[in-house]
Structure 1
Amino acid sequence: MEQTLRTGLSTLGLSAGPPVLHLFSDYSRLLLETNQVMNLTAITDPDQVAKLHFLDSLSLFSAWPLHDSRMLDVGSGAGFPGLPLRLMEPSISLTLLDSTGKRVSFLSELCSQLGVTDVTCIHGRAEELSSSPEYRETFDICVSRAVAELNVLCELCLPFVRVGGVFLAMKAAGSDDEISGAANAVRILGGELLPHFDYTVPGTEILHRVVRIRKSFPAPKGYPRRFSAIKKAPL
């Protein structure tokens, strides 16, 4: 697993010494151990975890400058993409948000086991939390690898991002229609679509895309709406 990771990092123009590589090995081991009793990932081979979780997440370093940022990962699940980014770049101040309590408990224990005790793990819903002054428009970067449609993700994520910050949504390569369909949501929520970043996941032939949305204006009051309203009438 470490050799796969080392080779992939080189492809990304990154490098990591033995201590960081050991952290990723421990992450993979703890993920796969917990996955036996909790549904965290369908990927169970350590080399595939390195490629499809770790290196896919770390490809964000090629899409945007991430160092010294206050970052929020919405719908973090098993910690992707936020936690691999933090393991590689300790200057990132990271908050992981997920709506499932068991996953957040796993993330908290994982961070404790890995010794990254400065990572904040929150159990909550994005559409509720982003209305709090503690979180609204306070993050430099919001990232998400969640499976929701981009127009829905924009309403959930852009209210967290400060003006001048960016929302980075990890999507499949063939997401042109999804991006076009989110244009109204981006506009309403104060965003500006930037050119997307396409990449090949290191060690694979899988093409993925990072949709980059800069926050240009404050999100209007009243957004995000309740999730039932977001699903019923997406922007």
Structure 2
Amino acid sequence: MNPEIFTKNLAQNGIELTEKQKQQFATYYEELIATNEKVNLTRITDKEEVYSKHFYDSVTPLIEFKELFEGNKTLCDVGAGAGFPSLPIKILQPDLKVTIIDSLGKRLNFLKALIEKLGLENVTLVHSRAEDAGKNPALREKFDLVTGRAVARMSVLSEYCLPLVKKDGYLIALKGPKAQEELNDAKKAIKILGGEVQEVKELVLPNSTDERTLIVIKKVAITPKKYPRQAGTPARKPL
């Protein structure tokens, strides 16, 4: 989708972009492509694909679960890479307080420069492995919302993310098609970590055949102190 169709699709879902927001997305695209020539941020570089598969895809949780984002919420994005999904959501919801956790310094350098160019406030960057972040008292169980997109299978993602979610907060996982089997495999892990599956929403990106699945997990109990396990263990030995 081109920028005009992107704007139109958002409007059809009750989100009217201001001129400032339109320019922020345009700048985001320009900076992404320019930096991608030096740092590997994305294999998707076509403008229409970036607007569809990165920008629109990133804001689907805000479209589908708007009520979760209402009020002065805090959001932590684990393994955000080039800032997806948190920064497109932040552009649309400027009052959201965002923390981005990523383990690669080069990506964080890109995000720091991008955030300044976009004029975004209340965005904190944390250079850390997800497992270490989950043990950090400044981050553990501090966030209303935690997002993960294209990071890991659901059982592993849950161990990365649920320790960061405060009780009665939510983990929102942005997944591809047919994620139900992956979710079934993760049910034990989700329960151990204090989560409960709240909703699974399957959708297709506009003007395409690209299928997506949004999984919302509510944090119903405190995560046991031994989780997350040390760096590398969740991926090697999923719960």
TM-score using structure 1 length: 0.96
Matches within 5 A, 1:218-229: 218-229=222-233
Matched, 1:90 2:94: yes
Contact 2:147 2:172 in 1 (8 A): yes
Tell me how far apart the structure 2 counterparts of residues 211 and 198 of structure 1 sit (CA, whole Å). 9
- Map of 1:13-52 to 2, 5 A cutoff? 13-52=14-53
Distance 2:69 2:191 in 1: 24
Does the 8 A contact of 1:11 with 1:202 survive in 2? no
Query: Contact conserved, 2:54 with 2:84, CA < 8 A, in 1?
Result: yes
Superposition pairs of residues 184-203 of structure 1, within 5 angstroms: 184-203=188-207
Q: CA RMSD in A?
A: 1.2
Deviation string 1:152-195 (CA, Å, 9 cap, x unpaired) is 00001000000000000011120111000000000000000112
4+ residue segments displaced more than 4 Å = none
Counterpart of 2:8, as a letter, is: T
Q: Does 1:157 align with 2:161?
A: yes
Who is 1:71 aligned against? 75
2:148 aligned residue: 144
Residue 214 of structure 1 and its aligned partner are, at CA, apart by 0.2
* Matched pairs, number: 235
CA distance in 2: counterparts of 1:81 and 1:201, whole angstroms: 15
Check whether the contact 2:11–2:17 (CA below 8 A) recurs between aligned residues.
no
Q: 1:152, 1:227 → 2: CA distance?
A: 12
Unaligned segments of structure 1, at least 5 residues:
none
Q: After TM superposition, list the pairs within 5 Å mapping 1:61-140 onto structure 2.
A: 61-64=62-65, 65-67=68-70, 68-140=72-144
Could you tell me which residue of structure 1 aligns to residue 208 of structure 2? 204
Identity of aligned residues (%): 35
* Structure 2: 5+ residue stretches without partners: none
- 1:119-151 Cα offsets, whole Å, 9 max, x none, are 111111110011111111000000010331100
Separation in 2 of the partners of 1:58 and 1:158? Answer: 21
Give the conservation status (yes or no) of the 8 Å contact 1:8–1:51: no
Counterpart residue type for residue 17 of structure 1: T
Give the alignment's TM-score, normalised by structure 2: 0.95
Instruction: Tell me if the contact between 2:79 and 2:151 (Cα under 8 Å) persists in the aligned partners.
Output: no
